[in-house]
Amino acid sequence: MLDTEPVVTSDIQRAAERWRTEDVTHRSEERFRKLVEHSSDVITLLNAAGRIAYSTQSVLPTLGYVPGERTGRSALELVHPDDLPVAERLLQAVYRTAGHSAKATLRLRHKNGSWRDLDLAAVNRLADPAIGAVVVTYHDITDHKAAERALCESRERLHVALQATGLGPWDWDLRTNETDFSPEWKRQLGYEPADIASRYEEWESRLHPQDRERVLEELRAYLDGRQPEYAVEFRMRHKNGSYRWIYTRGVALRDESGAQTHMLGCHLDITARKRLEEQLRQSQKMEAVGQLAGGVAHDFNNLLTVISGNSDLLQSDLPANESWQELIAEIQQAARQAAGLTRQLLAFSRQTVLEPKVLDVNDVVREHEKMLRRLIGEDVQLMAVLDLALAPVKVDPGQLGQVIMNLAVNARDAMPQGGKLTIETRNVTLDARSAAMVCGATPGRYVLLAVDDTGVGMAPDVQARIFEPFFTTKGPAKGTGLGLATVYGIVKQSGGFISVCSEPGRGTTFKILFPAAEIPVSTEEPAVHAVARGSETILLVEDEDAVRSVVRRVLRQAGYTVLEAGQGGEAIQLAGQYAGSIDMLITDVIMPEMGGRELVERLTSLRPGLKVMYLSGYTRDAIIRHGVLQAEVAFLAKPFTNAALVTKVRQILDQPTT
């Protein structure tokens, strides 16, 4: 008995151990089966014919089918038609080799007819006796795909919104130096998304050399805490080689420890704004210089009137063979030259008197063509490209001729070795966008006058100053610097716009836009009046004693009776006391206490039918609205010759009383 007990005990132990092992294995298999059955991923077994042999419970929530419902059906039946080629290639590759696996993203049809996005993985286990199938595992990513599509749509909407605002976001990783430049940021500089690498150096390398140190110092000051914000304007190089003005703001992000990790910001292209600011500064500068020039010209014209008038009187009083005649002629010549300078100053300052007429610009070009050919020389080829259907404009023909002549002279001087000068006219229509590029212009019809040369061209710093009076690049005694300033003033006073395009070595083009007139070209010929004496009574009002004295002598020498006064109040008192008739009033425009316009209004009420002529050295007065002479206003600009004075007086007196 004692010999058999250990044997029995050993068998029982082995049996118990086997039972425990089988129980553990059974429980492990049950646990694994439940884990597979309740996995969120669907596991499907395909037989050698590619048909479904088994699917886990997850097929119900994923595709809406009860496990076993699709058993025996082809695995490709639920694949979206567009994804079917991908699915077929995947299964062919998997079935070809034992153990081979493949992955794909496919759309499968849900039982309710909708489409689900699935990440799918398949592996060939046909050679494994325990499995004997192709194992396909797929995970539902429909919600993830929907979120991706929503994010893409949101990004697209954001990109469109940024395009509308003109903002170009950027993100600079301060730890890695990588920089994410948005498509809008790159578009502002003319680049495609793939053109610029995601590196900080790409940004710095495009900074204008003159702005780089200032911008980098602003950035360092902000990151070091020496400056509360980062907001700066600078120039960046465009893909085409030009520079664009950029305004950028940025803010630094910090981690939990307070260390700076990123800088986020936006670029805004402000080139158009900078251009308008420059135009405004230029306009303000020209206005200030113009006011100064107008004031100087006014006083100078009074002096020239005295010089010219008295020299004319001396010339008429002295015998023709008198040796003094030569000196007087030199005085008169100097006075005429000085008067020309003051006229140019007044033209620049837009204070000259214009007598506009509706005309065809082509006619003015043709009228000056012969003179231009003699002026520019034989080594310069002159071409006129004229639009025969050109719209009329309303400008002063004499001033327009001066514009053409001055631009031609400027072009000739830019072509010392000869070249080609082209004068072009054509009709232009500005829409709202193109009008916005021309400072002060409004949409509408215009006539373009362009003068183009093949000369030496101009650098940008020279272009910025060409319309300033007395600025010239010519040598001593070769120019006054008033030619282009005169052109600028005439064009502006005529309601037009002027621009210049030039590059060193590539010539210069001046473009002038005049508003098109809505009435036909005037064909009225000016009346010709012979210089004649008179016997009428004239009331002369002039606050400058020397001017009043010379005008009085000239008029009396021509036979007129002259009453004179130094100011408006004195003139009114004299007119009230004078018993005889007064045929005409000659008055200065600008006088202390009472201006010429007010004086005319008061005297014409006292003496109806009184004829009036204004005198002035410039036009800052209400009688000449915006410097443009109205048809009913008789005006004589200072300085004038004695012959011009008596001729104008006779013309006015001979006109019928209205």
Question: Do 180 and 60 share a structural domain?
Answer: no
* Structural contact between residues 536 and 653, judged by C-beta atoms closer than 8 angstroms: yes
- Mean pLDDT across 158-170: 65
Q: Give the pLDDT confidence of 267-326 residue by residue, as tens digits.
A: 888 888 887 777 677 666 666 666 666 666 667 777 777 787 777 777 777 776 667 777
Query: In terms of pLDDT, which residue wins out, 361 or 183?
Result: 361
Tell me whether residue 351 is in a domain.
no
Q: Give the pLDDT confidence of 631-652 residue by residue, as tens digits.
A: 457 888 778 888 889 999 998 8
pLDDT confidence of 158, banded at 50, 70, 90? low
Question: Do 604 and 478 share a structural domain?
Answer: no
* Structural contact between residues 612 and 604, judged by C-beta atoms closer than 8 angstroms: yes
- Give the pLDDT confidence score for residue 288 in this predicted structure: 67
SS3 state of residue 355: coil
Question: Do 293 and 262 share a structural domain?
Answer: no
The CATH number covering residue 475 comes to 3.30.565.10
Q: Can you give the residue range of the structural domain that contains 71?
A: 38-140
- Mean pLDDT across 89-117: 87
Mean residue pLDDT of the chain comes to 79
Place of tokens 């292209």: 269
For residue 658, pLDDT beyond 80: no
* Structural contact between residues 230 and 144, judged by C-beta atoms closer than 8 angstroms: no
Question: Do 491 and 367 share a structural domain?
Answer: yes
In angstroms, the CA 90 to CA 50 distance is: 12
* Residues in Cβ contact with 46 at an 8 Å cutoff, skipping those fewer than 6 apart: 52, 53, 75, 91, 122, 133, 134, 136
Question: Do 298 and 399 share a structural domain?
Answer: no
Tell me whether residue 237 is in a domain.
yes
* Structural contact between residues 584 and 538, judged by C-beta atoms closer than 8 angstroms: yes
What percent of the chain has pLDDT above 90?
14
- Give the pLDDT confidence score for residue 620 in this predicted structure: 46
Q: Give the pLDDT confidence of 610-632 residue by residue, as tens digits.
A: 999 988 766 544 445 434 345 45
Question: Do 483 and 368 share a structural domain?
Answer: yes
The CATH number covering residue 80 comes to 3.30.450.20
Place of tokens 């007196």: 653
Query: In terms of pLDDT, which residue wins out, 655 or 461?
Result: 655
- Give the pLDDT confidence score for residue 65 in this predicted structure: 87
- Mean pLDDT across 24-38: 52
In angstroms, the CA 371 to CA 383 distance is: 14
Q: Give the pLDDT confidence of 62-91 residue by residue, as tens digits.
A: 888 888 888 888 888 889 999 999 888 888
Q: Give the pLDDT confidence of 542-562 residue by residue, as tens digits.
A: 988 888 888 998 899 899 999
Question: Do 445 and 329 share a structural domain?
Answer: no
Q: How far is CA 117 from the centre of its chain?
A: 50
Q: Give the pLDDT confidence of 390-445 residue by residue, as tens digits.
A: 999 988 887 888 888 888 888 888 888 889 999 999 999 988 878 777 767 888 89
- Mean pLDDT across 130-147: 83
- Mean pLDDT across 111-134: 86
- Give the pLDDT confidence score for residue 622 in this predicted structure: 42
Q: 51-65, 161-175, 501-515: which has the minimum mean pLDDT?
A: 161-175
pLDDT confidence of 31, banded at 50, 70, 90? low
Q: 130-134, 245-249, 520-524, 529-533: which has the minimum mean pLDDT?
A: 529-533
Question: Do 400 and 489 share a structural domain?
Answer: yes
pTM (two decimals): 0.43
- Give the pLDDT confidence score for residue 39 in this predicted structure: 65
- Give the pLDDT confidence score for residue 289 in this predicted structure: 62
Which CA distances in Å does 84 have to 72, 77, 108, 345? 19, 9, 10, 84
Question: Do 317 and 302 share a structural domain?
Answer: yes
Tell me whether residue 99 is in a domain.
yes
Q: 235-249, 482-496, 634-648: which has the minimum mean pLDDT?
A: 482-496
Sign of the four-CA dihedral 474, 480, 481, 482: negative
Burial-class residue 80 by CB neighbours within 10 Å (0-12, 13-18, 19+).
middle
Question: Do 511 and 366 share a structural domain?
Answer: yes
Query: In terms of pLDDT, which residue wins out, 530 or 577?
Result: 577
- Give the pLDDT confidence score for residue 203 in this predicted structure: 87
- Give the pLDDT confidence score for residue 2 in this predicted structure: 43
* Residues in Cβ contact with 479 at an 8 Å cutoff, skipping those fewer than 6 apart: 413, 472
Tell me whether residue 165 is in a domain.
yes
- Give the pLDDT confidence score for residue 208 in this predicted structure: 92
For residue 155, pLDDT beyond 90: no
Question: How many domains in the chain?
Answer: 6
Residue 464 C-beta-side C-alpha neighbours within 13 Å: 9
Tell me whether residue 27 is in a domain.
yes
- Give the pLDDT confidence score for residue 625 in this predicted structure: 44
Backbone angle region of 560, left / alpha / beta, with phi > 0 → left and psi within -120 to 50 → alpha:
beta
DSSP string, 41-93: SEEEEE-TTSBEEEE-TTHHHHHSPPTTTTTTSBTTTTB-TTTHHHHHHHHHH
- Give the pLDDT confidence score for residue 518 in this predicted structure: 81
- Give the pLDDT confidence score for residue 81 in this predicted structure: 92
Question: Do 647 and 573 share a structural domain?
Answer: yes
- Mean pLDDT across 123-130: 83
Beta bridge partner(s), residue 160 = none
> Of 84, 105, 140, which residue is a domain's last?
140
Question: Do 560 and 483 share a structural domain?
Answer: no
Tell me whether residue 73 is in a domain.
yes
- Give the pLDDT confidence score for residue 537 in this predicted structure: 92
Sign of the four-CA dihedral 286, 292, 298, 300: negative
Tell me whether residue 274 is in a domain.
no
DSSP code at position 262? E
- Give the pLDDT confidence score for residue 628 in this predicted structure: 39
Tell me whether residue 598 is in a domain.
yes
Place of tokens 């077929």: 88
